[in-house]
A and B are shown apart, each in its own frame.
Chain A
Amino acid sequence: MEELKNKDLMINENYAIRLLKRFVNQREFSVTILFILLFVALSLTARNFFTFETLRAFMLAFSIDALIAIGMVILLIGGGFDLSVGSILALSGAVMNLFLHFNLNPFLSVFLGFLAGVLAGLINGLLVSRIGINALIATLATMGIYRSLSLITFTSVGTKSIPEVLNKLADFRILGLEFYVWLMFLIVILFSIGLNKSRFLRQVYYMGGNIDSARLSGMNVKNLTLINFLITGSLASLAGILYVIRFRAASVSLGTNTALDVITAVIIGGASLYGGRGSIKGALTGLGLMVLIQTGLVFWGVDANWQRLIVGAILILAVSIDVLTRRKK
């Protein structure tokens, strides 16, 4: 009897330790720790950091890119890749700007701009899933094409500030936070549940794990790929519209670094370029860390030129730790 109890206890203890270990071993965990450390350090050393205004600024910078990060991590999990997100973002803004220039109804312009980005995502998806072009190559090409298209529209009509209704929308806050921060929260929750629980998105993990086995298991891998690109394109397009609203005018240079920044963030957060691994939580913590570094440099008064160096170092660090711990196992 006594012995039995001891055994039970031991098993429980082992279980707790195992659970803890599993938690600690996750990349999200180490990135979150890093985030917290940096946050605390900033709060202690930089004056005016720990204020609502700073937090708000952080959320502003974070939330729009977060939309793209969500799309990107889903693509990466499924073994895909999209270099054109920055160009899609610029394109949707440019198309919206074009229609505003012709004095079309603002909301219709917003809708048409969004549609342009969705279409761009659809084209990516068709190129990869139907013609069978490698995702990297296909989106390398469309990255240039979409960028050119947006530049062409800009040079032909010039940028125009957004009309009054959209200005009001840009100022609209709930509990002190801009509406698109709330929109981001909503989308995050939706996709987190989706990726965890929906059958459709669960299939994305299978596809990234082994595309041939997924096909043999009856999953429609072509449609899955297509829809993944469509999701990513739509989210990038939405981000493009929100950027225009936030800055109150479309801009030529919008999104030039977005693709690589977001991919970096998502990989810091534990996604794999080989597919099958990654999570929304990870993508967002990775992105959060990057935005915090940007903010931190400003507060510490460090030259912004350091930013890419630090982000690069963190990327190498995060991936090295992963590779080394895996090898030990």
Chain B
Amino acid sequence: MNNTINKIDKLLEVKGISKTFPGVNALSKVGFDLNSGEIHAIIGENGAGKSTLMKILGGVEIEDEGEIYLNGKRVILNSSYESRKYGISVVYQELSLFPNMTVAENIYPARQPVNKFNLINHRLLEEKSKELLNLLDVNISTRKLVGDLLAGEKQQIEIAKAISMDSKVLILDEPTSSLSMNEIKKLFNLLLKLKSNKVGIIYISHHLNEIFEICDRVTILRDGKKIITKDIGETNEKELATLMLGREVSEYSEGVSKSALRDKVILELKNFSKKNNFKNINFKLYKGEILGFFGLIGSGRTELARALFGIDPFDNGEIFLNDKPIKLDDPGKAIKQSIGFVTDDRKNIGLFLSMSIKDNIVAPSLYKYTNRIGLINDSKIKATAEEYIKKLKISTPSADRDVIYLSGGNQQKVLMGQWFSTNSNILIVDEPTRGIDVGTKAEIHNLLEVLANSGVSIILISSEIPEILKISDRIAVMHKGNLINIFDNDKSDPKNMEKLLIFNASGLDSKL
């Protein structure tokens, strides 16, 4: 009896899927199933094969072997067109929007509502897009160009686009990687609504707490193999992490973090302003401290960092480096002053996707690998690349592999390697652990603290409260372009958590 019910409910079933890439067994004989009205988590380390499996379901990659069943019937998914026809829609890890088109046009590409002359009905297009964005409780003008949006906003547009297709199976590959807590809440509300409408949802995330919040079952992949599927009620975060890594997570030793002395101001911003982005920002950065910047999407943190690093111009204000005023209107100048910047937009302005890991890692510090007459020392480059591949656990067959062939989390690690290897005195890191698995995340936090202890000053922009609280010496809170408070972070004081949570919940300019 029980069995038959299961059979009917089984929306999607995947059997014995294998996929190899040159030098990598991305998936070997993986199987799992999804019921309608279920939210099913897939978790695993960076490079475990999660995205590859989703690409196969989306028809973007073709499996070497294996079978896919929808409602008990075998289906062949040879293109994303076909997969969509069967009612599967996917939000891929790497966003694929058209930056030169508006939000509305991006939500309905090639499916725009038309009038009887087959011309696009722009008013209806905008209305329908607005409705969708309302479902997500998102406030973005549908006429804005996508190229002008922030990473988190782009992610919300992708989600809206996927939902617009009224699919039976919705796949979300790390949908929350650039969202902050409030947006995640809104997304979860929507997912629960879809769930009650019998939609089956596959949910990939490196945030294990999210999985316990909304998922029903979880499937663990490791090195391309399925380890186990578990009911969420029968497991806990620690067990999942252990199953993912194949060993216990080594929470780093607490002894590493000691608070900075705060005796020497290395960087100071005075009245730093840019219209529509941030207003009157004043703060000091001390030698050897980690200054965390917390805020919601659109609070102006990324814009502030970009202006400081010389990517974008700003309107007013001054930058003091070691008490001397300085003009930074080009990243090259900032780098010369020993400032580094890990961007949150690795695909567009961070990495060189068509180039090798080693070329990427040395890009900002190429001058260090050059002899007196300007010739490059390739073996030195290779050595550095291999050092960071090891340090950051980048999973790849070699340092010569083009970055485009790495998994998302491994690409993020290459980006970190780019700037860790510059040995900068000041490091601005914008969402540094985005898409990075739990094992490596702890190690990156550790690395940041070691850097700070050695005298490097770090500006950490993060939307993850635990991350901010874990490693910041002080926390700056930004809201709608204003820096509303900076306070000391006693890493063991739970009050700080409350402060940030209250701020998050209210979202208003309360005095913290």
Contacts and interface: CB of A to CB of B under 8 A. Distances in A.
Contacts of A212: 348-349
B376 A219 contact: no
Interface stretch (B205-213, B237-245, B352-360): B352-360
A276 B334 CA distance: 25
Interface string B198-232: 00000000000000000000000000000000000
B352 A218 contact: no
A106 interface: no
B332 A206 contact: no
A218 B374 contact: no
B355 A206 contact: yes
Given A206-B359, A215-B331, A217-B363, A199 B352 contact: no
A161 interface: no
Residue with the highest number of chain B CB atoms closer than 10 Å, among A200, A210, A329: A210
Contacts of B370: 199
A216 B350 contact: yes
A217 B354 contact: no
A329 B22 contact: yes
A215 B348 CA distance: 11
B355 A209 contact: yes
Interface in B334-372: 334-336, 341, 343, 348-355, 359, 363-364, 366-367, 369-370
A105 interface: no
A210 B352 contact: yes
A45 interface: no
B463 interface: no
Contact of A213 (B332, B336, B349, B374): B349
B375 interface: yes
Contact of B352 (A193, A206, A220): A206
A202 interface: yes
Interface string A179-206: 0000000000000010001111011011
Given A198-B374, A198-B375, A209-B355, A203 B366 contact: yes
A238 to B, nearest CB: 23
Given A197-B376, A199-B376, A202-B376, A216 B366 contact: no
B368 to A, nearest CB: 10
A199 B374 contact: yes
Nearest to B309: A216
B149 interface: no
Nearest to A222: B330
A210 B351 contact: yes
Given A206-B352, A210-B353, A217 B22 contact: no
Contacts of A205: 355, 359
B326 to A, nearest CB: 16
Interface string B360-400: 00011011011000111000000000000000000000000
B486 interface: no
A202 B348 CA distance: 20
Contacts of A219: 332, 363
A199 B359 contact: no
Contacts of A217: 331, 335, 363-364, 366, 418
Given A206-B355, A206-B363, A218-B335, A213 B376 contact: no
B364 A197 contact: no
Contacts of B334: 218
Contact of A216 (B343, B354, B374): B343
Contacts of A200: 374
Contacts of B354: 209-210, 276-277
Interface string A215-254: 1111110000000000000000000000000000000000
A258 B348 CA distance: 35
B381 to A, nearest CB: 10
A218 B350 CA distance: 11
Contacts of A276: 352, 354-355
Interface string A71-111: 00000000000000000000000000000000000000000
Given A199-B370, A220-B332, A213 B363 contact: yes
A219 B366 CA distance: 9
A207 B351 CA distance: 11
A217 B424 CA distance: 13
B1 to A, nearest CB: 49
A218 B364 contact: yes
B145 interface: no
A66 B405 CA distance: 35
A218 B332 contact: yes
A57 to B, nearest CB: 36
B321 interface: no
Residue with the highest number of chain A CB atoms closer than 10 Å, among B330, B336, B363: B363
A199 B376 CA distance: 6
B311 interface: yes
Interface in B281-326: 309, 311
Contacts of B364: 216-218
Contacts of B351: 210, 213
Contacts of A199: 366-367, 369-370, 374-376
A277 B402 CA distance: 13
B331 to A, nearest CB: 5
A217 B355 CA distance: 14
B471 to A, nearest CB: 24
B506 to A, nearest CB: 35
A216 B341 contact: yes
Contacts of B355: 205-206, 209, 276
Nearest to A198: B374
Contacts of B330: 215, 220
B268 to A, nearest CB: 23
Nearest to A277: B354
Interface in A259-286: 276-277
Contacts of B363: 206, 213-214, 217, 219
Contacts of A203: 366
Contact of A197 (B335, B348, B359, B375): B375
B331 A216 contact: yes
A218 B331 contact: yes
B375 A218 contact: no
B343 to A, nearest CB: 7
Nearest to A220: B332
A218 B424 CA distance: 13
Contacts of B343: 216
A216 B330 CA distance: 8
Residue with the highest number of chain B CB atoms closer than 10 Å, among A193, A199, A214, A220: A199
A329 B402 CA distance: 13
12 contacts: A199-B374, A199-B376, A209-B354, A210-B349, A212-B349, A213-B349, A213-B351, A216-B364, A218-B332, A218-B334, A218-B364, A276-B352
Given A216-B311, A217-B364, 10 more contacts: A202-B366, A205-B355, A205-B359, A210-B349, A214-B352, A216-B331, A216-B350, A217-B335, A218-B331, A329-B22
Interface of A: 193, 197-200, 202-203, 205-206, 209-210, 212-220, 276-277, 329
Interface of B: 22, 309, 311, 330-332, 334-336, 341, 343, 348-355, 359, 363-364, 366-367, 369-370, 374-376, 418
Counting from the closest, the 9 A-B pairs by CB-CB distance are A218-B335, A209-B352, A218-B332, A217-B364, A217-B363, A212-B349, A197-B375, A199-B370, A210-B352
